[in-house]
Amino acid sequence: MTTQDTALPDVRVHRPLGYWLKSVDRSIEEGFARLLADENLTRRGWQVLNTVSYAPVTVAGVDETMAAFLSPAEPTMRPYVEALTARDWAAPTAGATDTFELTEAGRAAHRRISGRIGAERARMMECLTPDEYGVLMDLLQRLATHLDA
């Protein structure tokens, strides 16, 4: 069989899905790295801060929320929760085991950072209409669900 016999498009001309997913993810990582640098926070650190901001949560709950980002090299988000605790942005919830919530300093940091995150997210999506964004999210969720099955 020759290369011409395959049904695959020429990747030099038509990039496959994985290429675009990696490209978008890299751009998001780089954009958030620049945005969060002055807070000495990573994108993952922000995501954990944001997760804890909604209500007291266990590390297992953070891990569940962040499951798409877990890997054999990073099997838990505990180090990020501990980093928030070390910064006095989170603390163990009184009377609960392995449950954390934001401190006043953490709530202030979240408010300060979330406005900038919201503006960056809006900038990233300004090339899409709200309907296109909804369709994109539906398609990606459907694809992820299918691939995880």
Look at residue 141 and tell me if it is in a domain: yes
Task: Tell me if residue 92 falls in helix, strand or coil.
Answer: strand
What is the DSSP secondary structure assignment for residue 66, as one 8-state letter?
T
User: What is the rounded CA–CA span in Å between residue 139 and residue 1?
Assistant: 34
- Over residues 78-92, the mean pLDDT reads 97
pLDDT at 4: 56
Look at residue 4 and tell me if it is in a domain: no
Write out the residue range of the structural domain in which residue 120 sits: 17-148
Can you state the angle between helices 104-125 and 43-54, rounded to 10 degrees?
120
Look at residue 83 and tell me if it is in a domain: yes
Residue 6 has pLDDT above 70, yes or no: no
| Model confidence, pTM | 0.85
CATH number, domain containing residue 77: 1.10.10.10
| pLDDT tens column, 23-45 | 999 999 999 999 999 999 999 99
> Among residues of the chain, what percentage have pLDDT more than 70?
96
Look at residue 37 and tell me if it is in a domain: yes
Look at residue 8 and tell me if it is in a domain: no
Q: How many CA atoms lie within 13 A of 132 on its CB side?
A: 5
pLDDT at 1: 46
pLDDT at 39: 96
The total domain count for the chain is 1
Look at residue 78 and tell me if it is in a domain: yes
